[in-house]
Each structure stands twice: as C-alpha cells, then as structure tokens.
Amino acid sequence: MNAASLRAAQLDFFQAPAPRMTVDCSDEQLDLGSYDRVVIALSGGKDSIAQVCAYLERGGDPKKMEFWHHIVDGQEVSKLFDWPCTNGYCKAVAAFFKAPIYFTWKVGGFEGEMLRENALTQPIRFEAPQPDGSIIIKQTGGKGGKISTRRKFPQVSADCSVRWCSSYLKIDNARTALRNQERFNNSKTLFLCGERAEEALSPQEFLQYRAGTLLASQVKGRAAYPRFQVDDSDARNSSMRRHIDRWRPVHGWSEVEIWAILERWRINPHPCYRLGWGRCSCAACIFNGADEFASLRLINPKQFNALVGHEVDFDRTMKRTIALNALADLGTPFVMKQADIDAAMSEEWYELIELAPGEWELPAGAFSRGGGPS
C-alpha cells in the first residue's frame, strides 16, 4: 500500500472529516496570552513542528515564541548518531516562523556519554540570550554525581532510566537550561513539547482513547502524560517566582491530523521522512528496524561502520540479539531519491521550508509504524 492509500485508510479509520484542531478538556481554558514567553522544543520532527502550527492556530502570539533544539551529538567532534541536516533544518524552521532558536548539548554528546568509563557524566552547555541581544554559552554540571561506566548502547526500551539517550541528551538539557537562566525568574513561561498518545497505543486503543472509553489500566507510556501540567523546573512559590507550565498541544492528535496541519501550512518535512523513515529521531536511532539500518548503511556507510565498530569494542550489540550488519542484511533499503539523500546528508540547509502551493506531498515514511519509545 502506498503512502496515499495509507493516508486514505487512516482518514477512514479515524473518521476525521477534515483537518482540525483538537482541544482536550484539560487545556481548553488555557490562556495563552497570560504567558510572557513560549519555549518550544524543536526536534525537527513532524510532531514538534505541528505543535507550532497548533499554537498559532489557537491564537498564540508568534512574538513570544523561541525554539530550543537539543544537539544529541554535541558540538565537539562526534557525528555518530544524528542526521547531518537536522541543526540546519531547525534553524531554517525557526527563521520561517520568525523566532529565535537556542541550542543545548551535553559536552561530548551521545558518543561521549556512551563511552564514559570510570568518570562523571559531562556538563551540559546551553545558549542563553542576554539583555543586550548577545548570546552566551553557559555550562553547568559535570562536577557531582557518581563515577560510573557505560560503554554500551542505550537499551531499546520505553524506560528512560535504561534508554538513557533521551534523559541525558534532551530531558536534562531542557530542565537545566530552564533552571539556570535568571530571565525565567519573576515571569510566566509556557514550555511546549510534542509527545503524542497515539505512539503508545494500538490503533483500536487509540480510537477508545479518543472516545474516552479506554480503561485507565490500558493508558500507558506517552498516553499517560498529562496534556497540561506544572513543569518540573517550576519554582513559582519560591523567592525566584519562576512560573513554568508544560503543554503538549498535539498530545491527543492522530498522525492524520499531524500531516494535515503540515500540509495546510505547506511545511517541507525533514528529509528523513522523504527517505522513508517513519520517525525523525537520530539517523542511527536504537529503535531503527532492519530496513532503516539497511538504508543508513547505503547512504552513510561511515556512520554505520562507526556503530559496528563500537559493537565490536563493547562486545555487545546495539540490539542485543543481533549485530547491526546482520540486521541490515535482513532489511531492504528504501527507494530513495538522490535529492533527498543529498538534503539529509548536508550540514547546511538549502531547501525552502514553506513549499509553493501544490508542491506539498505526503512523504514516503508517513504512517510507518516504526519502532520508538512509547
């Protein structure tokens, strides 16, 4: 079944009469105008961009927006896991929405944390705007905690305590940057992130979730996340009066609605979707399947072979039960256009973000039920 047929099937399945904004009862009274700023977590993936469009369609003030992107490979040397184009793509998205973007990263990035041996975890660095308009790089952490050793890939699990890449390279970065900038004191901040309940549920469970008939015992993973909550970096009752709420504006959305809003805004999707990936995480995400790794081996053999080298070094494979080369041998590379490969492999973004009328197409990776944290 091609992407167009899949989309038609999904539209029929969810009985979505037209692209629409969905608002849950938990946030329908949310007063966007009461916040001084809106910080938006931008991975470059479809959900992270859809939430921007959702915020604006809800009447949010674009002048209050700022984007944060967590650089999983860090800013030092390593290029082991992420897509080369992602940083540039996120900059271009921010420019399209006319909002600033700030970057965070762990020193040494993904590879540095993975190779940690009898050492503390490295500090976190983040860009912080100053009152005079300049941007400085602040650094915190790396001095306390426990000396330990990793020397293995994160576990393929929904549990962030063992799938440490999300917690150490993204979640901690945001928390640290929110807690260590005085500009968040004595003000109200709304933090947006793009997790969706559908990712944690079967199609039938998601239908019941949307209808409000899913049993509480079946609500799991990301589906259990509240759509609106006080952020864990909040300190509104302290002398800092740091008021921070977290909103997941697309939490209850189906993938149909995600692609529909991107189509409505004519947003050029990240090249990974056009190549055939169903999720925009790392190019070498631990949740990749055989086809993704077969495709990665074809378009970026240097990156793929570096991962294989770490498997040999660790004497432990990423997938635990099968080596990456053997897994890739079981897969079939996606049918990929050279223009999309070139865009994904370029560190400089050179395509438009807003496509011309009539040019937007559903990417090949849409509606792929690929692996991922649930």
What phi-psi label fits residue 315: left (phi over 0), alpha (psi between -120 and 50 degrees) or beta? left
Q: What is the pLDDT of residue 209?
A: 94
Count Cα atoms within 13 angstroms, Cβ side, for 242: 18
Is the pLDDT higher at 161 or at 98? Answer: 98
Does the pLDDT of residue 12 top 60, yes or no?
no
Does the pLDDT of residue 178 top 90, yes or no?
yes
* Residues forming beta bridges with residue 128, ordered by sequence position: 136
Does the pLDDT of residue 98 top 50, yes or no?
yes
Q: What is the pLDDT of residue 157?
A: 81
Give the 3-state secondary structure of residue 126: strand
Is the pLDDT higher at 287 or at 17? Answer: 287
pTM: 0.92
Specify the range with the lowest mean pLDDT, choosing from 25-29, 91-95, 351-355.
25-29
Q: What is the pLDDT of residue 158?
A: 77
Average pLDDT over residues 148-153: 96
Q: How far apart are CA 195 and CA 252, in angstroms?
A: 9
Does the pLDDT of residue 185 top 90, yes or no?
yes
What domains, with CATH codes, occur in the chain?
A: 28-269 (3.40.50)
Q: What is the pLDDT of residue 76?
A: 86
Is the pLDDT higher at 11 or at 298? Answer: 298
Does the pLDDT of residue 360 top 70, yes or no?
yes
> What is the CA angle 261-277-263, rounded to 5?
15
pLDDT digits (tens, 9 = 90+) for 254-277: 999 999 999 999 999 999 999 999
Q: What is the pLDDT of residue 9?
A: 43
Average pLDDT over residues 43-68: 98
Specify the range with the lowest mean pLDDT, choosing from 3-7, 305-309, 327-331.
3-7
Inter-axis angle of helices 3-14 and 255-265, nearest 10: 120
- Which residue is associated with the tokens 């077969």? 294
Q: What is the pLDDT of residue 71?
A: 97
Q: What is the pLDDT of residue 19?
A: 34
Q: Average pLDDT over the chain, rounded to whole? A: 92
Band of pLDDT at residue 1, cut at 50, 70 and 90: very low
Q: What is the pLDDT of residue 51?
A: 98
The answer to whether residues 149 and 163 touch, using CB atoms and an 8 Å cutoff, is: no
Does the pLDDT of residue 213 top 50, yes or no?
yes
Q: What is the pLDDT of residue 95?
A: 98
Q: In what helix (H) or strand (E) does residue 4 lie, and over which residues does it extend? A: helix 3-14
Does the pLDDT of residue 23 top 50, yes or no?
no
Does the pLDDT of residue 6 top 80, yes or no?
no
Q: How far apart are CA 72 and CA 150, in angstroms?
A: 17
Average pLDDT over residues 185-194: 98
Average pLDDT over residues 202-221: 93
Percentage above 70 pLDDT, the chain: 91
Average pLDDT over residues 115-126: 97
Q: What is the pLDDT of residue 370?
A: 61
Average pLDDT over residues 98-110: 97
Is the pLDDT higher at 298 or at 77? Answer: 298
Does the pLDDT of residue 124 top 90, yes or no?
yes
Does the pLDDT of residue 176 top 50, yes or no?
yes
Average pLDDT over residues 44-49: 98
Q: Name the pairing type of β-strands 228-230 and 242-247.
A: antiparallel
Does the pLDDT of residue 18 top 50, yes or no?
no
Q: How far apart are CA 331 and CA 373, in angstroms?
A: 21
Cα separation values, 86 from 122, 343, 351, Å: 23, 10, 12
Sign of CA dihedral 364, 299, 284, 124: negative
- The one-letter code for the residue type at 98 is K
Work out the number of other CB atoms within 10 angstroms of the CB of residue 54: 23
Q: What is the pLDDT of residue 271?
A: 98
The answer to whether residues 245 and 265 touch, using CB atoms and an 8 Å cutoff, is: no
